[in-house]
Structure 1
Amino acid sequence: MNKQYRIKKNEDFQAVFQKGASTANRQFVIYVKDQPNQSSFRIGLSVSKKIGNAVVRNRIKRLIRQVMFEFKDSIKEGKDLVIIARKPTADMDYHEVKSSLEHVCKRAKILQRRP
Protein backbone atom coordinates (compact mmCIF):
# COMPACT_ATOMS: atom_id res chain seq x y z
CA MET A 1 0.00 0.00 0.00
CA ASN A 2 1.17 3.52 -0.70
CA LYS A 3 2.49 5.80 2.03
CA GLN A 4 -0.68 7.86 2.02
CA TYR A 5 -2.59 4.79 3.29
CA ARG A 6 -0.29 3.97 6.23
CA ILE A 7 -0.13 4.94 9.88
CA LYS A 8 3.43 4.67 11.16
CA LYS A 9 3.89 7.15 14.00
CA ASN A 10 3.23 6.14 17.59
CA GLU A 11 1.25 9.33 18.31
CA ASP A 12 -1.09 8.53 15.42
CA PHE A 13 -1.64 5.01 16.79
CA GLN A 14 -2.28 6.38 20.28
CA ALA A 15 -4.76 8.97 18.98
CA VAL A 16 -6.77 6.24 17.24
CA PHE A 17 -6.68 4.02 20.36
CA GLN A 18 -7.76 6.81 22.70
CA LYS A 19 -10.30 8.68 20.58
CA GLY A 20 -11.47 5.98 18.19
CA ALA A 21 -14.27 3.45 18.46
CA SER A 22 -13.46 -0.25 18.52
CA THR A 23 -15.24 -3.17 16.93
CA ALA A 24 -14.15 -6.80 17.13
CA ASN A 25 -14.79 -10.36 16.11
CA ARG A 26 -12.87 -13.50 17.09
CA GLN A 27 -9.92 -12.81 14.77
CA PHE A 28 -9.55 -9.02 14.58
CA VAL A 29 -10.09 -5.82 16.54
CA ILE A 30 -10.46 -2.65 14.51
CA TYR A 31 -10.26 0.87 15.90
CA VAL A 32 -11.78 3.63 13.77
CA LYS A 33 -11.25 7.35 14.19
CA ASP A 34 -12.79 10.01 11.94
CA GLN A 35 -10.34 12.34 10.21
CA PRO A 36 -12.51 14.69 8.12
CA ASN A 37 -9.52 16.65 6.79
CA GLN A 38 -8.04 13.57 5.08
CA SER A 39 -8.85 12.70 1.49
CA SER A 40 -8.36 8.96 2.02
CA PHE A 41 -8.24 6.39 4.79
CA ARG A 42 -5.08 5.25 6.60
CA ILE A 43 -4.32 1.84 8.10
CA GLY A 44 -2.05 0.80 10.95
CA LEU A 45 -1.39 -2.86 11.74
CA SER A 46 -0.57 -4.50 15.04
CA VAL A 47 0.37 -8.17 15.27
CA SER A 48 1.63 -9.26 18.69
CA LYS A 49 4.55 -11.59 19.35
CA LYS A 50 2.07 -13.85 21.14
CA ILE A 51 0.67 -14.84 17.75
CA GLY A 52 3.89 -16.39 16.44
CA ASN A 53 7.40 -15.82 15.22
CA ALA A 54 8.41 -13.11 12.73
CA VAL A 55 7.55 -15.27 9.72
CA VAL A 56 3.99 -15.83 10.94
CA ARG A 57 3.49 -12.19 11.94
CA ASN A 58 4.77 -10.87 8.61
CA ARG A 59 2.55 -13.32 6.71
CA ILE A 60 -0.50 -12.09 8.62
CA LYS A 61 0.41 -8.46 7.92
CA ARG A 62 0.83 -9.21 4.21
CA LEU A 63 -2.58 -10.89 4.09
CA ILE A 64 -4.25 -7.98 5.90
CA ARG A 65 -2.60 -5.42 3.60
CA GLN A 66 -3.72 -7.34 0.50
CA VAL A 67 -7.32 -7.60 1.72
CA MET A 68 -7.45 -3.91 2.63
CA PHE A 69 -5.94 -3.05 -0.76
CA GLU A 70 -8.82 -4.92 -2.40
CA PHE A 71 -11.31 -3.09 -0.15
CA LYS A 72 -9.77 0.35 -0.74
CA ASP A 73 -12.52 1.51 -3.12
CA SER A 74 -15.19 0.46 -0.63
CA ILE A 75 -13.75 1.98 2.56
CA LYS A 76 -15.13 5.36 3.54
CA GLU A 77 -12.72 8.27 3.17
CA GLY A 78 -11.43 10.32 6.07
CA LYS A 79 -10.89 7.44 8.50
CA ASP A 80 -7.89 6.21 10.46
CA LEU A 81 -7.99 2.46 11.09
CA VAL A 82 -5.85 0.36 13.39
CA ILE A 83 -6.27 -3.38 12.86
CA ILE A 84 -5.12 -5.72 15.61
CA ALA A 85 -4.79 -9.40 14.78
CA ARG A 86 -5.74 -11.96 17.41
CA LYS A 87 -4.29 -15.43 17.94
CA PRO A 88 -6.64 -17.42 15.62
CA THR A 89 -5.32 -15.50 12.59
CA ALA A 90 -2.07 -17.49 12.70
CA ASP A 91 -3.85 -20.53 11.24
CA MET A 92 -6.01 -18.74 8.69
CA ASP A 93 -5.60 -18.69 4.94
CA TYR A 94 -6.26 -15.73 2.64
CA HIS A 95 -9.97 -16.36 2.10
CA GLU A 96 -10.65 -16.74 5.82
CA VAL A 97 -8.78 -13.50 6.54
CA LYS A 98 -10.75 -11.73 3.84
CA SER A 99 -14.15 -12.88 5.08
CA SER A 100 -13.26 -12.11 8.71
CA LEU A 101 -11.99 -8.61 7.86
CA GLU A 102 -15.06 -7.95 5.73
CA HIS A 103 -17.25 -8.98 8.67
CA VAL A 104 -15.48 -6.73 11.17
CA CYS A 105 -15.44 -3.80 8.70
CA LYS A 106 -19.19 -4.16 8.17
CA ARG A 107 -19.72 -4.18 11.94
CA ALA A 108 -17.60 -1.01 12.20
CA LYS A 109 -19.66 0.54 9.37
CA ILE A 110 -16.65 1.60 7.32
CA LEU A 111 -17.55 -0.20 4.08
CA GLN A 112 -19.60 1.83 1.60
CA ARG A 113 -20.65 -1.18 -0.43
CA ARG A 114 -19.72 -4.80 -0.87
CA PRO A 115 -16.26 -5.08 -2.49
Structure 2
Amino acid sequence: MKNQRIIKKNHQFQIIINHNQTKLNPTFVLYYEAPNDNKGLHYGISVGKKLGNAVCRNKIKRQVRMMIQTLLKNYAALNIEVIIMVRKRYQSQNYQKNLQELEKLFSRIALEVK
Protein backbone atom coordinates (compact mmCIF):
# COMPACT_ATOMS: atom_id res chain seq x y z
CA MET A 1 0.00 0.00 0.00
CA LYS A 2 1.33 3.41 -0.95
CA ASN A 3 2.04 5.95 1.72
CA GLN A 4 -0.17 8.96 1.00
CA ARG A 5 1.76 11.22 3.40
CA ILE A 6 4.98 11.51 1.38
CA ILE A 7 5.78 14.56 -0.75
CA LYS A 8 7.96 13.63 -3.74
CA LYS A 9 7.53 16.20 -6.50
CA ASN A 10 10.05 19.01 -6.87
CA HIS A 11 7.39 21.69 -7.41
CA GLN A 12 5.69 20.68 -4.15
CA PHE A 13 9.04 20.97 -2.35
CA GLN A 14 9.60 24.42 -3.84
CA ILE A 15 6.13 25.69 -2.84
CA ILE A 16 6.71 24.71 0.78
CA ILE A 17 10.30 26.02 0.88
CA ASN A 18 9.30 29.35 -0.69
CA HIS A 19 6.58 29.78 1.94
CA ASN A 20 9.43 30.84 4.30
CA GLN A 21 8.27 29.25 7.53
CA THR A 22 11.19 27.41 9.11
CA LYS A 23 12.31 25.81 12.33
CA LEU A 24 15.89 24.69 12.64
CA ASN A 25 18.51 23.25 14.91
CA PRO A 26 22.05 21.96 14.24
CA THR A 27 20.73 18.58 13.00
CA PHE A 28 17.61 19.42 10.94
CA VAL A 29 15.96 22.24 9.03
CA LEU A 30 12.17 22.01 8.78
CA TYR A 31 10.26 24.05 6.22
CA TYR A 32 6.52 23.89 6.76
CA GLU A 33 3.25 25.22 5.46
CA ALA A 34 -0.27 24.92 6.81
CA PRO A 35 -2.58 24.26 3.84
CA ASN A 36 -6.29 24.99 3.90
CA ASP A 37 -7.60 21.43 3.61
CA ASN A 38 -7.60 18.96 6.50
CA LYS A 39 -5.43 16.14 5.19
CA GLY A 40 -3.15 15.70 8.18
CA LEU A 41 0.64 15.63 8.22
CA HIS A 42 2.52 15.33 4.92
CA TYR A 43 6.31 15.21 4.73
CA GLY A 44 9.26 15.15 2.37
CA ILE A 45 12.87 14.31 3.19
CA SER A 46 15.92 15.91 1.61
CA VAL A 47 19.49 14.73 2.18
CA GLY A 48 22.30 16.61 0.41
CA LYS A 49 25.24 15.05 -1.40
CA LYS A 50 27.66 16.40 1.20
CA LEU A 51 26.45 13.73 3.64
CA GLY A 52 27.97 10.85 1.69
CA ASN A 53 27.35 8.53 -1.20
CA ALA A 54 23.95 7.17 -2.23
CA VAL A 55 24.11 4.30 0.25
CA CYS A 56 24.68 6.68 3.19
CA ARG A 57 21.99 9.11 2.05
CA ASN A 58 19.43 6.32 1.62
CA LYS A 59 20.25 4.99 5.09
CA ILE A 60 19.67 8.47 6.54
CA LYS A 61 16.34 8.76 4.69
CA ARG A 62 15.22 5.36 6.02
CA GLN A 63 16.12 6.41 9.56
CA VAL A 64 14.27 9.71 9.24
CA ARG A 65 11.20 7.87 7.88
CA MET A 66 11.25 5.63 10.96
CA MET A 67 11.52 8.70 13.18
CA ILE A 68 8.48 10.18 11.44
CA GLN A 69 6.54 6.95 12.03
CA THR A 70 7.20 7.16 15.75
CA LEU A 71 6.31 10.85 15.83
CA LEU A 72 3.05 10.31 13.92
CA LYS A 73 1.49 8.92 17.09
CA ASN A 74 1.58 12.43 18.57
CA TYR A 75 1.51 14.71 15.53
CA ALA A 76 -0.65 12.93 12.91
CA ALA A 77 -3.52 15.33 13.52
CA LEU A 78 -1.43 18.37 12.58
CA ASN A 79 -2.60 19.86 9.32
CA ILE A 80 0.82 20.74 7.89
CA GLU A 81 3.17 19.91 5.07
CA VAL A 82 6.81 19.59 6.17
CA ILE A 83 10.11 19.32 4.30
CA ILE A 84 12.86 17.84 6.48
CA MET A 85 16.40 18.71 5.44
CA VAL A 86 19.16 16.80 7.17
CA ARG A 87 22.39 18.57 8.16
CA LYS A 88 25.94 17.23 8.54
CA ARG A 89 25.71 16.94 12.34
CA TYR A 90 23.19 14.11 11.91
CA GLN A 91 25.98 11.63 11.24
CA SER A 92 27.90 12.42 14.42
CA GLN A 93 24.93 11.65 16.71
CA ASN A 94 23.11 8.43 17.47
CA TYR A 95 19.54 7.58 16.46
CA GLN A 96 17.96 8.46 19.81
CA LYS A 97 19.58 11.90 19.98
CA ASN A 98 18.48 12.66 16.40
CA LEU A 99 14.94 11.53 17.25
CA GLN A 100 14.86 13.89 20.23
CA GLU A 101 16.07 16.78 18.06
CA LEU A 102 13.37 16.11 15.47
CA GLU A 103 10.68 15.80 18.14
CA LYS A 104 11.66 19.17 19.61
CA LEU A 105 11.21 20.81 16.22
CA PHE A 106 7.83 19.16 15.68
CA SER A 107 6.64 20.30 19.11
CA ARG A 108 7.69 23.88 18.29
CA ILE A 109 5.75 23.71 15.03
CA ALA A 110 2.71 22.25 16.80
CA LEU A 111 2.66 25.16 19.25
CA GLU A 112 2.83 27.69 16.45
CA VAL A 113 0.23 26.08 14.16
CA LYS A 114 -2.45 25.67 16.85
Question: Under a length normalisation based on structure 1, what TM-score does the superposition of the two structures give?
Answer: 0.86
Q: Residues 78 and 110 of structure 2 are in contact (CA less than 8 Å); yes or no, is this contact kept in structure 1?
A: no
Question: C-alpha separation between the residues in 2 aligned to 1:83 and 1:2?
Answer: 20
Question: C-alpha separation between the residues in 2 aligned to 1:81 and 1:46?
Answer: 11
Structure 1 residue 20: deviation in Å? Answer: 4.4
Match of 1:52 in 2: 52
Match of 2:23 in 1: 23
Q: CA RMSD in A?
A: 2.1
Instruction: Report the secondary structure of 2:51's partner residue.
Output: coil
Q: Residues 52 and 90 of structure 1 are in contact (CA less than 8 Å); yes or no, is this contact kept in structure 2?
A: no
Q: Residues 39 and 79 of structure 2 are in contact (CA less than 8 Å); yes or no, is this contact kept in structure 1?
A: yes
1:42-90 Cα distance to aligned partner (Å, 9 max, x none): 1100000001111211111111100111111321432100000000112
The reply to whether residue 90 of structure 1 matches residue 91 of structure 2 is yes
Q: Residues 63 and 97 of structure 1 are in contact (CA less than 8 Å); yes or no, is this contact kept in structure 2?
A: no
Structure-to-structure mapping, 1:1-115, within 5 angstroms = 2-75=2-75, 76-109=77-110
Q: How many residues align?
A: 112
Question: Under a length normalisation based on structure 2, what TM-score does the superposition of the two structures give?
Answer: 0.87
Gaps of 5+ in 1: none
Which amino acid counterpart does residue 23 of structure 2 have in structure 1?
A: T
Question: C-alpha separation between the residues in 1 aligned to 2:52 and 2:91?
Answer: 7
Percent of aligned positions that are identical: 31
